[in-house]
């Protein structure tokens, strides 16, 4: 008979608000992370505070927000109405407390459930909030959600508004570090969606005059085929163009919230855009040919939006307001009027669009036979498990839900390296793809090569991105190569492949580089892993000159037991980021064009090994 455990009243617990948030932070802010990914928890904390300031601006209060991030601390100051002084403590420490339940005060807000700043408070080891109204003020200080001080203050020189000052709890967010580029992207999105608002970040002003048109001008890494089309209506704004890039690229927003995983509004836009364009030309073009190479953004405002998670990355609402017009009808009617009118008034743009559609159609038909054979090859390879060691959960998979955010695919080269990672990985969330030798240099080649080249075809099949990112199976694609000349070259070849054929993967922050230690310095009492020459020197000084020093020349030399440290909780991932000034064509030309000397100098400068040991080999490699 099986052993039984007593189940009594003593086993029933009631957690207070801060205990529950700290025990289950993923329910409130998604994943945790250390700041290496744009959707890590520390950025969600900033967003939750900013959302309140943005909602104040939307309601016509305060045109300026100031943000300072320094030494792990974040300060946000807005100049809205300020929180009613008698409720300052309650709004940051009592769940289901706030003004947004009253639709008269905040008609089309993002934060409707009264959780946001409470989560920031509970997950910060220091949290301070101050509110200023007509020369009077209230200040409260918390530590991990526990109120420490509360005081009423005189503030005759302070303008109305709210100030929040906090530091994420290092016990929750291990080894966290803010990346300015991720914060800047968040701030730019706020500005694009709120023309007239000024956000100052560490002394730099962020401001947009033309909304989504400005956003697409920043995001376009290729020259648009025609000037960006910008359409504005009541509670809806759309901007789009076509480029020479592959795939479809969308930036969608609801009530100022960037829905990175799209949702019903993005789906309705894709459907309506293809239908209106097809009807305008009066030809039975395939929707995929119409949308291929499109770069677009859509922002809508809806009443009481329903999201598929607390982090609000995907809209689930099917109506623009409870009992009102459907999302499909709302967006479809808008495009039917505005886009159809635009195409009639701008025949030169319509001509360019149709020419691009015909080019897409021709390429699709030319590739049809090759794609069929490629899919069969990929299926056979997967069945025999020759290339891919899959994990149990996946990213855009309804069965895995929010858990899919932790999924990653390591792309590595060689049996020894892939073997070490395979033995060390988390089989639930980490998959391994093993390359056979160096990939082809795909610079300047057409997409035909993706299907004809076995390695590229199988990578594409493993990721499930043949028809776009909707089916992407892993949230993070991690290039894991040796820290030597060959490893750097393979890294560049893979980056070129993704930038050339799947740039939206990079732009949406799915591509990363795995950082692994170059040295192990140890004695009988302590082991230190070093990721640079300076760290090695510091470790020797700490442990002593008698320390044993091991130089890891390749991933395969790191034992599976040690590898667990480097792809587990302490994983170091460097995101591949395209910044505002990046031009994709120029990047590709630099990495894989014929500028051999420039690239050689770049690799020498950025390679994380001793330069004297690799210079000669590098010259031979790059010139090959």
Residue of 63 and 404 predicted with greater confidence = 63
Q: Cβ contacts of residue 347 below 8 Å, gap of 6+? A: none
Residue 618: band (very low, low, confident or very high) from pLDDT cuts 50, 70, 90: very low
Decide if domain 17-207 falls under CATH 3.30.365.10: no
Token couple for 214: 């400005």
- Report residue 107's pLDDT band, with 50, 70 and 90 as the boundaries: low
* Kind plus residue range of the DSSP H or E element containing 379: helix 347-383
The 8-class DSSP code of residue 112 comes to: -
* Fold of domain 385-516+552-578: Rossmann fold (3.40.50)
Element (H, E) at 418: helix 415-424
Q: Residue 69: pLDDT band by 50, 70, 90 thresholds? A: very high
Strand partners, 198: 64, 207
The 10s digit of each residue's pLDDT in 540-560 is: 988 887 889 988 878 878 888
Q: Determine the distance from the C-alpha atom of residue 328 to the mean position of all C-alpha atoms in its chain, rounded to a whole number.
A: 27
Q: What is the pLDDT of residue 99?
A: 53
Does position 150 have pLDDT exceeding 90, yes or no?
yes
Mean pLDDT on 165-181: 92
Q: For 339-385, how does the pLDDT look when each residue is reduced to its tens digit (9 = 90+)?
A: 999 999 999 999 999 999 999 999 888 888 887 877 777 776 664 55
d(CA 117, CA 111) in angstroms, rounded, equals: 10
Q: What is the dihedral of CA 287, 291, 297, 301, to 10 degrees?
A: 0
Please tell me which of 194-203, 246-255, 486-495, 572-581 the model is most confident about, judged by mean pLDDT: 194-203
- Reading the block at residue 624, the tokens are 């090959």
Report pLDDT digits (tens) over 491-520.
888 988 998 888 888 888 899 999 888 888
Task: Look over the chain and give the mean of its residue pLDDT values, rounded to a whole number.
Answer: 83
Pairing relationship of beta strands 64-70 and 198-201 according to DSSP bridges: parallel
pLDDT of residue 101: 43
Comparing 439 with 400, the larger pLDDT belongs to: 439
CA distance 17 to 12: 16
Taking the CA atoms of 459, 218, 334 and 323 in sequence, report the sign of the dihedral they define.
positive
On the question of pLDDT at 209 being above 70, the answer is: yes
For the chain, domain boundaries: 17-207, 212-364, 385-516+552-578
Q: Full-prediction pTM beyond 0.85?
A: no
Averaged over 407-423, what is the pLDDT? 87
pLDDT of residue 34: 87
The whole-angstrom separation of Cα 82 and Cα 60 is 13
- Phi, psi of 370, deg, nearest 5: -65, -40
What is the pLDDT at residue 448? Answer: 85
Within 34-143, where are the H helices? 41-58, 88-93, 116-122
pLDDT at 169 over 90: yes
> What percent of the chain is modeled with pLDDT above 70?
84
Residue 338 has pLDDT above 90, yes or no: yes
> pLDDT value at position 471?
84
Is residue 622 pLDDT above 50, yes or no?
A: no
CA distance 556 to 610: 19
For residues 102-131, give the mean pLDDT: 73
| pLDDT of 311 over the 80 cut | no
Strand locations in 71-135 (E): 73-78, 124-133
What pLDDT, on the 0 to 100 scale, is given for residue 5? 61
> For residue range 16-63, what is the model confidence (pLDDT) as tens digits?
777 778 888 877 887 888 888 888 899 999 999 998 898 888 888 889
- Closest-CA residue to 304 (of 118, 104, 103): 103
pLDDT confidence tier of residue 450, bands split at 50, 70 and 90: confident
What's the confidence (pLDDT) of residue 113? 42
Fold match between domain 17-207 and domain 385-516+552-578: no
Could you tell me which CATH number the domain at 212-364 has?
3.30.230.10
Q: Average pLDDT of 310-336?
A: 82
């Amino acid at each position: 008979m099986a052993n039984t455990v007593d189940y009594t009243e003593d086993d029933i617990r009631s957690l207070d608000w801060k205990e529950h948030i700290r025990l289950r932070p993923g329910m409130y802010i998604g994943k945790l992370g250390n700041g290496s990914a744009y959707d890590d928890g520390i950025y969600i904390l900033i967003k939750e505070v900013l959302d309140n300031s943005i909602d104040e601006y939307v309601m016509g209060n305060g045109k300026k927000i100031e943000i300072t991030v320094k030494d792990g601390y974040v300060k946000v100051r807005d100049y809205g109405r300020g929180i009613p002084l008698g409720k300052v403590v309650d709004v940051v420490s009592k769940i289901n407390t706030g003004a947004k339940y009253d639709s008269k005060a905040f008609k089309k807000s993002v934060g409707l459930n009264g959780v946001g700043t409470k989560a920031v408070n509970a997950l910060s080891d220091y949290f301070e909030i101050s509110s200023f109204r007509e020369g009077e003020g209230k200040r409260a200080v918390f530590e991990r959600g526990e109120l420490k001080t509360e005081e009423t203050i005189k503030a005759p020189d302070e303008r109305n508004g709210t100030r929040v000052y906090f530091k994420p709890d290092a016990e929750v967010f291990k080894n966290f570090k803010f990346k300015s580029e991720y914060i800047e992207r968040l701030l730019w999105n706020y500005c694009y969606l709120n023309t007239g608002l000024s956000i100052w970040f560490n002394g730099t002003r962020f401001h947009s005059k033309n909304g989504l048109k400005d956003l697409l001008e920043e995001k376009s890494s290729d020259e648009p085929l025609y000037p960006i089309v910008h359409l504005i209506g009541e509670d809806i704004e759309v901007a789009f163009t076509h480029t020479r890039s592959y795939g479809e690229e969308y930036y969608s927003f609801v009530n100022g919230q960037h829905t990175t995983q799209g949702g019903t509004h993005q789906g309705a836009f894709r459907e309506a855009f293809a239908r209106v364009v097809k009807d305008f030309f009066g030809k039975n073009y395939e929707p995929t040919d119409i949308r291929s190479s499109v770069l677009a953004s859509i922002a809508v405002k809806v009443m009481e939006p329903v999201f598929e998670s607390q982090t609000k990355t995907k809209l689930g609402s099917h109506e623009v307001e409870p009992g009102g017009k459907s999302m499909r009808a709302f967006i479809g009617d808008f495009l039917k009027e505005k886009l159809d009118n635009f195409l009639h008034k701008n025949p030169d743009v319509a001509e360019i669009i149709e020419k691009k559609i015909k080019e897409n159609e021709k390429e699709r038909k030319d590739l049809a036979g090759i794609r069929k054979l490629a899919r069969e090859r990929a299926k056979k390879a997967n069945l025999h498990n020759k290339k891919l060691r899959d994990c149990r959960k996946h990213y855009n998979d309804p069965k895995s839900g929010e858990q899919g955010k932790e999924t990653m695919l390591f792309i590595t080269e060689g049996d020894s390296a892939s073997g070490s990672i395979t033995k060390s990985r988390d089989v639930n969330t980490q998959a391994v793809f093993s390359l056979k030798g160096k990939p082809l240099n795909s610079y300047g080649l057409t997409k035909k090569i993706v299907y004809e080249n076995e390695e590229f075809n199988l990578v594409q099949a493993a990721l499930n991105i043949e028809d776009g990112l909707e089916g992407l199976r892993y949230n993070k694609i991690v290039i894991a190569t040796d820290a030597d000349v060959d490893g750097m070259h393979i890294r560049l070849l893979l980056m070129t492949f993704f930038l050339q054929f799947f740039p939206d993967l990079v732009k949406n922050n799915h591509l990363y580089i795995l950082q692994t230690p170059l040295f192990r310095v140890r004695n009988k009492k302590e082991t230190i892993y070093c990721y640079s020459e300076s760290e090695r020197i510091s470790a020797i000084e700490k442990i002593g000159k008698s320390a044993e020093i091991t130089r890891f020349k390749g991933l395969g030399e790191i034992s599976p037991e040690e590898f667990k440290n480097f792809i587990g909780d302490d994983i170091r991932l460097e995101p591949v980021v395209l910044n505002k000034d990046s031009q994709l064509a120029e990047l590709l030309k630099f990495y894989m064009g014929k500028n051999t000397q420039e690239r050689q100098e770049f690799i020498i400068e950025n390679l994380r090994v001793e330069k004297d040991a690799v210079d000669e080999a590098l010259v031979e490699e790059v010139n090959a």
